[in-house]
Structure 1
């Protein structure tokens, strides 16, 4: 075989490994207890596209991971006592009958999340469930 053929095979093998690692990461994240699909974008600009992601409840915080990434770390982390839901809008008009646009504020920065109605119910319950002064003990 020529060097060009070996180079093409090496590139294909590398691409296959990257795809397998990404699929494995996405599978692990989406099958963790307390995980739910959740898209995010900066608030105030509806022309900006949502970024696909998976959110996960941790002790006293929500960790949000990008879907199309190989990073083992969360792209965003929101602590429960600093996260405020400022509003929600059902997305029925966009043909998404079970989706909500959830407007949030964290440390003075506004952002928006798009999630299912069940995920929103879980988020609202999680935010309201912690007793004052004991927020780090509730999952």
Structure 2
């Protein structure tokens, strides 16, 4: 077998393994109890596209994972006591039925999330279920 063909087959095998690992990670993250699709971007940057992601409720925090990554660590973690919702806008006028643009603040940093209506209801409930004295997290 020529060397070029062997190298090509090795590269294709590695690419297939990377794709399989990424698909397995994405499947595992999306199947966890408490996971929901949640896209993120910096606030006030409508020209910047959302980064696709999956969020997961953990004890007292939300962990956010990028969809197109091989890392098993969350790209962002938001602790409930420091996260607040500052506004929400339905995205129906943008052609995205059953979606909200949710404006958030975490440690004085503003960002936006895009999520389904059901996911927003879960987020609002989770924030409102904070211990007494911290229930002002949802606008």
TM-score (norm: length of structure 1): 0.94
| 1:121 aligned partner | 121
Q: For residues 65-112 of structure 1, give each alpha carbon's deviation from its aligned partner in whole angstroms, at most 9, with x where no partner exists.
A: 000000010000000000010000000101111000000000000000
Could you list the runs of 4 or more consecutive aligned residues of structure 1 that deviate by over 2 angstroms after TM superposition? 132-135
| 2:37 aligned partner | 37
| 2:9 aligned partner | 9
State the superposition RMSD in angstroms: 1.4
Q: Which consecutive unaligned segments of at least 5 residues does structure 2 have?
A: none
User: Matched residues in 1 for 2:14 and 2:90: separation?
Assistant: 42
| 1:92 aligned partner | 92
How many residue pairs are counted as aligned between the two chains? 135
TM-score (norm: length of structure 2): 0.94
Q: For residues 33-67 of structure 1, give each alpha carbon's deviation from its aligned partner in whole angstroms, at most 9, with x where no partner exists.
A: 00000000011111110000000000000000000
